[in-house]
Amino acid sequence: MVNTIRPVKEAQGLKPGGKAPLFTATDLHDEPYALADALKNGPVVLIFYRGQWCPICNMHLKALQEKLPEIYRRGATVVAVSPEKSEFLKRTAEKTGAEFTLLFDEGYKIADAFDVTFLPGKLLRGVYNTLLQADLKNANSDDSERLPIPATFIINTDGVIVWRHFDPNYIKRSKVGDILKNLPVKSG
C-alpha cells in the first residue's frame, strides 16, 4: 500500500507498460462506473484533477471537452477522477461543459492505486482553502486535504497503460494533441 500522507516528490505514478488497476466508482449522478466495463468498448483516457476550485484543472477539462469528438472518433472514452463529492463534480461539469464521465474518488482509492496522491504543504493548503475556496476538508471524501497530481493515463483494451503524462508541477498538463497521438489505432 502506498503511503499517501507524503510530499508531492514521493508520488511516482504508474508507468506505461504496466497493468492499470481496475476500479469502480460513482459518477456525478451517483451512478456506478467500472473501468473493466469501459475497457470492453475501447481505450480509456483517465485524467486525475484536483477539483472544481482549480482554474488550471477547469481549463484542462474544457480543452478536453472541445476535442472530445476527435477522441471518440478514435474509439476511446474520457473519464476524469477527483476526490470531490458528487455535488462538486456537478460544479466541475457546469464550469467546464464536460460531457465525459466525472468520478468521485472516495477515500482516494483510485489515486492511491495509480500512485498520484500527495499531501500539499500547509501553506498551499491554506491558499487553496482561502483564496480558491477549495474547502478541501468538506468537499473531499475525508479531511486529510490530500490531492492527486493532475496526471493522464491512456489505458488500452487489454488494461495496459500505454501512455501517461505525469508531472508533479500542477501547471503542466497533458495536451490533447499528445493524447490523440498516443491513442491506440482503432481497428475496423
Angstrom distance (rounded) from CA 124 to CA 131? 10
Angstrom distance (rounded) from CA 168 to CA 87? 27
CATH class assigned to 42-167+174-181? alpha beta
Backbone dihedral angles phi then psi of residue 152, each to the nearest 5 degrees = -130, 135
Q: pLDDT tens per residue, the chain (188 residues)?
A: 344 566 567 788 999 999 999 999 999 999 999 999 999 999 999 999 999 999 999 999 999 999 999 999 999 999 999 999 999 999 999 999 999 999 999 999 999 999 999 999 899 899 998 889 888 888 998 888 999 999 999 999 999 999 999 999 889 999 999 999 999 776 54
DSSP H/E element including 42:
none
Q: Where are the domains of the chain?
A: 42-167+174-181
Burial 153-164 (b: 16+ CB within 10 A, else e): bbbbbeebbbbb
Cell numbers found for residue 66: 472541445
Angstrom distance (rounded) from CA 185 to CA 84? 33
CA distances to 2, 24, 35, 46, 151 from 21, in Å: 13, 10, 9, 12, 15
